[in-house]
Amino acid sequence: MGIYVNRTLNMKQIAAIGFDMDYTLVRYDSEAFEEMTYKEIVKKLLEKGYPDAIGALKFKINLAIRGLVIDKPHGNILKLSTYSKVKHAYHGLHEMDFKTQQKIYQNLVIDLNDTDRYSIVDTTFSIAYCVLYMQLVDMKDSQPDLNLPDYKTLEQDLIEALDISHRDGSLKSQVKKNVKKFIVHDAGIVEALERFKRHGKKLWVITNSDYEYSKLLLDYSINPYLKEHKHWSELFNLVVTAASKPRFFTDKMPLLQIDPATGLMRNHHGKIEDGIYQGGNAQTIQKNAGLSGEQILYLGDHIYGDVLQIKKTCNWRTALVIDELISEVEALDKSATLTDQINDLMAEKVDLEQKLDDLFDKEIEKGKKPDKTKVQAHFKKIEGVDKKIGKLIRSHSQFFNPYWGETMRAGVEPSRLAGQIEKYACIYMAKISDFTDYSPRTYYRPRKKTLPHELA
């Protein structure tokens, strides 16, 4: 697949490349991991006193996509455009019709700073929580005798259960027991890394995962495919575990050096040599390397945890790894013919509407009544085109998520997720191994974007 460019990035000027680990340097089987997360959340809700009936719920990965927004007090799940307008909505498991959607949201801009009302499904780790929320809202509506909490409390309980599952090691312990089930091997990632190293790039890992977990995953994902290094610790100049991102980019936390043989740590002061560490902060590491922010590229999968704070505080260059692109681009390729047909019919419809407007303009401006036969003929033609477009759109949608459609679009506009990617990532891709098709010296340049007035 390709490397997609939002802003100019000259790789010849990049001296150090940093990587997040989970879902970036190490690829997960998203469905397997999310289903495991889903079951763990259900388990914790049952322990909290939720009715046994929730134990019969089944995980359905397609119910949610990244970039959705939960309207907590109303039990609604929203897909927003990049302009924060609601374009598609569900209440629980029931799709909201346009009239109901307009009545609630009135085409207003959704204020996502109102965290008391809205929660963003912004990571791949959030899919299970969103799926279960939709199901519990539906269960509350359809089975009032279960006495489930109100919609807002449901969301709070879910997010608490998810947070506890991360903190208490419930999720990572299962990955440790069966790495093969949850982690995807990708030899191309190692090929790309060794090629970067060959070109003199310093390679860093900056992850929130602890050393023990990081070692397990890097041993499994990196070591088997190394050709120019004996071990991943030779490949990476610097490995920072338990980095506490996004605080890593904003706060000055103490740096601990890890002994890879024992896992024991000690406080570190002075020059940072190549090795494995815990904590620390971006400013110290950058200063130690003697680099400017423009000479460092950091790749992650999380917009807020990995790239947003970088743009605000460090001025590092940024890249996002978007796993959803694999299926999205494949669907776009398969539906390309239908897309062309829809565009052609829309152009035909616009032409017919303009001719119809001309007829009515003459009546309003010159007092000349339009020929009813011509008016009816135009309406009939437009109706016929609408039917054709509707049929094609239904066929087109079958290539994408059955509930939400395209991940990167909300109608004809970019989705909120696509807008965030464009705003904060210099480049983006589906996986690190996509770099194998490009020289480490590539000068990435965005395509010139056509503005509306330039199409006139």
The letter for the amino acid at 378 is H
In this prediction, residue 269 carries a pLDDT of 86
Q: Which residues pair with 181 in a beta bridge?
A: none
Kindly report the number of other CB atoms within 10 A of residue 433's CB atom.
18
In this prediction, residue 6 carries a pLDDT of 95
Q: How far apart are CA 149 and CA 169, in angstroms?
A: 27
In this prediction, residue 456 carries a pLDDT of 67
The SS3 of residue 298 is strand
Residue pair 236/270 in contact by the 8 Å Cβ criterion: no
Strands 94-95 and 118-120: unpaired
Q: Which residues pair with 427 in a beta bridge?
A: 5, 319
> Is omega for the bond preceding 446 within 30 degrees of 0, making it cis?
no
- Of 430, 433, 444, the C-alpha closest to 196 is 433
Q: How far apart are CA 41 and CA 159, in angstroms?
A: 9
- Of 382, 448, 450, 452, the C-alpha closest to 7 is 448
Domain boundaries, the chain: 4-25+181-323, 30-168, 336-398
Residue pair 240/204 in contact by the 8 Å Cβ criterion: yes
Residues of the chain with pLDDT under 70: 124, 456
In this prediction, residue 363 carries a pLDDT of 76
Model confidence, pTM: 0.90
In this prediction, residue 375 carries a pLDDT of 81
- Under 8 Å CB-to-CB from 426, ≥6 apart: which residues? 5, 6, 7, 8, 9, 297, 317, 318, 319, 444
4-25+181-323 is classed CATH 3.30.230.10: no
